């Protein structure tokens, strides 16, 4: 990773990991915690407000403001909870994992700072079940902090998920943490008022919490100077797909997308041409190559281009990819992960997949193009959480921007790529139960 840009989350790592407590302390580790604890809780929240930090999970909600929504502890007879969302599952996103692996103490220090800010004694870290090595490292790191008496009166429980994308949605996560199926709740009430066990709860992303440590260390004003207007600070961008050097890159907001791909990522692999970019995780609107070359990686620029920064997961797609196949695969994901609570999502995601597969297989008629639009409209905005919307929005953006390609499938009665697309025959988990009874290939 190029280190000419400022590092906040990964500061002091020199490209490596600070998993040894002494190494972390040598770069100033745990000084922010001492500083925060010498401040009143409201002063910590003020510092976060000055920093303009906005949530790194995908919703970009101001972190300090979120904390300020919790009622003061002396006004009600319930404990406060801090729940950290480490259920990173948005396709394309793998930053929280690297943060936990490389700066576990900075992350856990941030958890204690946040707990102090919202006056909570109980922290739960909900980590996705697939992150087994990360879970073990967090538990071991916590043990070292406990031995050094850094936790004070705060308990931190690391709770493993078990494979459900929907649990990244905060109310589904809380349901799951309470021992239920991970199905979203109606909002309001919002978690700040009635979250975990119906008590006031702040739910924050791993990167937000880790950044909070650095903000207390360097001061909110210094942090706010990084980045661009409405998008302060740095961001850990997850770069994947058809680039030479996939990986996580911490860069200031406002960094040009074309440079993330061309400079940081080493360009398109195999000398192919750029076709499209998914800029903020699979739920976001796709950008054509032309659009991608014009935007910068911040809230305003991406909203201006009709998409979103989301989880800052940039998926690069070269010219070998069939957009109908991409739509099928993305829709299969949302179909698989729909929790089943809201009918438009449960039924609609399956319909989208079915129609798209029909078009891809060359069985699609002109009317199916209209049906696709109709089904998407019947999902969008009609459910408790954005999962179904994400499928509809993503797929319709491919349809709108690459309509000629969809039309060619109908006109030619098959995929114009003729088995040469990079996503040919990709076996999604939802298709597996059909597939497993087929004979083994020779």
Give the interface with another protein as residue ranges (CB under 8 A): 79, 88-94, 97, 122, 128-133, 157, 159-165, 176-182, 197, 238-242, 246-248, 278, 282, 313, 315, 317-318, 321, 326, 329-330, 333, 336-337, 339, 422-429, 432-433, 435-438, 440-441
Cβ burial of 39 (10 Å; 0-12, 13-18, 19+) is middle
CA–centroid distance for 1 within its chain:
21
* Cβ at position 397, least distance to another protein in Å: 14
Q: Cα–Cα distances in Å, from 433 out to 58, 329, 430, 438, 441?
A: 32, 16, 7, 10, 17
Rounded Cα–Cα distance for residues 301 and 286 (Å): 14
Minimum CB distance to another protein smaller for 18 or for 239: 239
* Cβ at position 335, least distance to another protein in Å: 11
* Cβ at position 109, least distance to another protein in Å: 21
Minimum CB distance to another protein smaller for 134 or for 389: 134
* Cβ at position 410, least distance to another protein in Å: 23
Minimum CB distance to another protein smaller for 314 or for 376: 314
DSSP H helical ranges for 319-423? 323-337, 343-360, 366-379, 387-401, 403-412
Q: Are strands 234-241 and 247-252 parallel, antiparallel or unpaired?
A: antiparallel
Minimum CB distance to another protein smaller for 18 or for 321: 321
DSSP H helical ranges for 41-188? 41-51, 63-68, 95-102, 104-117, 132-147, 170-177
* Cβ at position 31, least distance to another protein in Å: 29
155: which residues sit within 8 A by CB, 6+ positions away?
121, 122, 123
Q: Cα–Cα distances in Å, from 35 out to 32, 67, 306, 405?
A: 5, 18, 41, 57
Minimum CB distance to another protein smaller for 245 or for 366: 245
CA–centroid distance for 353 within its chain:
23
Q: Which structure tokens are listed for 43? A: 């002063």
Identify the H or E element spanning 249. strand 247-252
Minimum CB distance to another protein smaller for 150 or for 174: 174
CB 91 within 8 Å of CB 130:
no
* Cβ at position 402, least distance to another protein in Å: 15
325: which residues sit within 8 A by CB, 6+ positions away?
360, 415, 417, 421, 423, 424, 426
* Cβ at position 104, least distance to another protein in Å: 16
Minimum CB distance to another protein smaller for 72 or for 180: 180
Rounded Cα–Cα distance for residues 343 and 237 (Å): 34
Q: Cα–Cα distances in Å, from 77 out to 114, 116, 193?
A: 21, 18, 13
Minimum CB distance to another protein smaller for 213 or for 335: 335
Helix axes 366-379, 403-412, angle to 10 degrees: 140
Minimum CB distance to another protein smaller for 232 or for 322: 322
* Cβ at position 248, least distance to another protein in Å: 7
Rounded Cα–Cα distance for residues 410 and 360 (Å): 8
* Cβ at position 115, least distance to another protein in Å: 16
Minimum CB distance to another protein smaller for 40 or for 273: 273
CB 261 within 8 Å of CB 239:
yes
* Cβ at position 251, least distance to another protein in Å: 14
* Cβ at position 218, least distance to another protein in Å: 28
Minimum CB distance to another protein smaller for 144 or for 272: 272
């Amino acid at each position: 990773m190029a280190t000419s840009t400022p590092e906040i989350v990964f500061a002091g790592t020199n490209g490596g990991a600070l998993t040894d407590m002494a190494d972390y302390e040598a770069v100033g580790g745990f000084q922010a915690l001492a500083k925060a604890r010498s401040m009143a809780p409201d002063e910590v929240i003020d510092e976060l407000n000055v920093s303009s930090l906005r949530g790194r999970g995908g919703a970009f909600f101001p972190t300090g403001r979120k904390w300020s929504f919790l009622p003061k502890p002396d006004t009600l007879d319930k404990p406060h909870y801090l729940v950290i969302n480490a259920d990173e599952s948005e396709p394309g996103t793998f930053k929280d994992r690297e943060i936990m692996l490389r700066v576990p103490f900075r992350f856990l220090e941030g958890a204690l700072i946040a707990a102090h800010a919202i006056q909570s004694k109980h922290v739960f870290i909900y980590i996705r079940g697939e992150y087994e090595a990360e879970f073990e490292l967090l538990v071991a790191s916590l043990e070292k902090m406990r031995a050094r008496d850094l936790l004070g009166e705060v308990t931190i429980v690391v709770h493993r998920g078990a494979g459900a994308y929907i649990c990244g949605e905060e109310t589904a996560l809380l349901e799951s943490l309470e021992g239920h199926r991970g199905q979203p709740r109606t909002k309001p009430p919002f978690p700040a008022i009635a979250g975990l066990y119906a008590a006031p709860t702040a739910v924050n992303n791993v990167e937000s919490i880790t950044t909070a440590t650095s903000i207390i260390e360097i001061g909110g004003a210094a942090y706010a100077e990084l980045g661009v207007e409405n998008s302060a600070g740095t961001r850990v961008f997850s770069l994947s797909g058809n680039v030479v050097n996939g990986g996580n890159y911490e860069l200031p907001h406002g960094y040009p997308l074309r440079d993330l791909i061309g400079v940081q990522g080493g360009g398109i692999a195999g000398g192919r041409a750029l076709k499209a970019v998914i800029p903020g995780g699979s739920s976001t609107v796709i950008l054509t190559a032309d659009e991608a070359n014009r935007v910068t990686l911040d809230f305003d620029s991406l909203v201006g281009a009709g998409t979103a920064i989301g989880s800052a997961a940039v998926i690069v797609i070269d010219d070998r990819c069939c957009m109908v196949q991409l739509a099928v695969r993305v829709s299969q994901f949302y179909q698989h992960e729909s929790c089943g609570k809201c009918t438009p999502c449960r039924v609609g995601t399956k319909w989208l997949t079915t129609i798209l597969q029909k078009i891809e297989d060359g069985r699609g008629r002109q009317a199916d193009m209209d049906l696709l639009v109709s089904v998407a409209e019947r999902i969008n905005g009609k459910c408790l959480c954005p999962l179904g919307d994400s499928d509809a929005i993503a797929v319709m953006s491919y349809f709108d921007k690459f309509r000629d390609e969809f039309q060619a499938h109908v006109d030619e009665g098959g995929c114009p790529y003729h088995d040469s697309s990079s996503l040919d025959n990709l076996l999604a988990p939802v298709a597996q139960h059909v597939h497993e009874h087929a004979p083994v290939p020779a």
